[in-house]
């Protein structure tokens, strides 16, 4: 009996050693992958998690002479400045309307570009067109502002000299034109980059589906609406949910640099981000700036959760979580 127990114990010990050896071998095989992940993990921690410490600033009256931790708590008073001004409704309205318009139109334009590029992907022209449409996304806001100014300058701008030589328009003093100007500039800069993800997704669709559709007599439009768009639905939903999460955030450079910080057109160019920056220039209050960031983040999180819940009820397979 004791001999049997000893044999079982010895067998268990051998199994344990083999498992340990397999785990060690597996770790050696995956070690290079861990090293490849390391830069991304460090960036994620430094860029996404360490700044969360700044949430404290939103609820304090910061006094750097005594330090952040010893600064007094003031509750929600830092949030009041966002709504204590007559411009509160304007900046929230502009932020929401611009983002809603840009999300909807941006998705349509990016899909259109991606489908067109997929159709000509095997041609030599695609190697030239793709870099051209992606190049604007690499242009900084400062350079972009000068490009726009070269078109809209009252005296020397291309638009006035070409179309309105006798009665030039002072674009930087007329607010009603800027929703259209900013929308055009935004899509010129971002549509090419936004289409890349859809192009990659289209490249992963089984080509046999298109061949079967062609044999059955389906034309290009029929293939797009019956194969391409349905197969892209998970990616469209994912991109839509991610965009909704930033619906209260705007591109600061687009709304501050491109209009050249003109006070005459703030009615249509003022957003939460630009308002906070201008408030900081005047009041130098870090707590107020942090409160605005927390306000944007919390509302974005709530909207993502609500949107994902709706998607989950309609089509649970395509929900984000």
Looking at the chain, which runs of residues are DSSP E strands?
Answer: none
CB-based contacts of 40, cutoff 8 Å, min separation 6: none
pLDDT for the residue 184? 93
Q: Specify which residues 73 forms β-bridges with.
A: 60
List the one residue out of 46, 64, 68 whose CA is nearest residue 56: 68
> Are 212 and 303 a contacting pair, CB within 8 Å?
no
The first and second tokens of residue 46, run together, are: 């430094």
User: What's the first-to-final CA gap in the chain, in angstroms?
Assistant: 55
Q: Which residues of the chain have pLDDT under 70?
A: 1-14
Q: What is the DSSP letter of 123?
A: S
pLDDT for the residue 321? 74
Q: CA–CA separation, 255 vs 276, rounded Å?
A: 12
pLDDT for the residue 31? 86
Helix (H, G, I), strand (E, B) or coil at 60: strand
Q: How far out from the chain centre does Cα 37 lie?
A: 22
Cβ atoms within 10 A of the Cβ of 142, count? 10
Q: What pTM does this model have?
A: 0.80
Q: CA–CA separation, 292 vs 290, rounded Å?
A: 5
pLDDT for the residue 182? 94
């Amino acid at each position: 009996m004791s001999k049997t127990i000893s044999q079982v114990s010895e067998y268990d010990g051998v199994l344990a050693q083999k498992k340990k050896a397999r785990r060690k071998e597996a770790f050696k095989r995956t070690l290079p992958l861990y090293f490849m992940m390391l830069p991304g993990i460090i960036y994620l921690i430094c860029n996404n998690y360490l700044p969360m410490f700044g949430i404290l600033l939103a609820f304090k009256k910061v006094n750097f002479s005594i330090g952040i931790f010893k600064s007094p708590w003031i509750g929600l008073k830092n949030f009041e400045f966002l709504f204590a001004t007559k411009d509160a409704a304007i900046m929230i309205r502009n932020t929401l309307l611009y983002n809603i318009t840009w999300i909807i139109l941006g998705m349509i334009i990016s899909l259109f570009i991606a489908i067109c590029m997929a159709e000509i992907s095997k041609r030599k022209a695609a190697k030239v067109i793709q870099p051209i449409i992606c190049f604007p996304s690499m242009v900084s806001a400062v350079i972009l502002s000068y490009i726009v100014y070269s078109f809209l300058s009252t005296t020397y701008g291309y638009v006035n000299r070409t179309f309105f030589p006798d009665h030039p328009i002072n674009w930087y003093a007329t607010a009603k034109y800027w929703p259209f100007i900013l929308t055009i500039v935004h899509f010129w800069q971002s549509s090419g980059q936004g289409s890349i993800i859809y192009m990659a997704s289209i490249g992963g669709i089984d080509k046999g589906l298109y061949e079967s559709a062609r044999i059955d007599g389906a034309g290009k439009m029929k293939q797009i609406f019956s194969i391409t768009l349905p197969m892209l639905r998970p990616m469209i939903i994912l991109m839509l949910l991610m965009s909704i999460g930033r619906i209260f955030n705007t591109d600061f450079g687009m709304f501050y640099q491109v209009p050249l910080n003109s006070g005459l057109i703030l009615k249509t160019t003022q957003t939460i981000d630009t308002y906070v920056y201008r408030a900081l220039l005047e009041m130098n209050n870090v707590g107020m700036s942090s409160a605005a960031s927390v306000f944007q983040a919390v509302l974005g999180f709530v909207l993502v959760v609500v949107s994902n819940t709706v998607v989950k009820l309609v089509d649970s397979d395509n929900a984000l979580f």
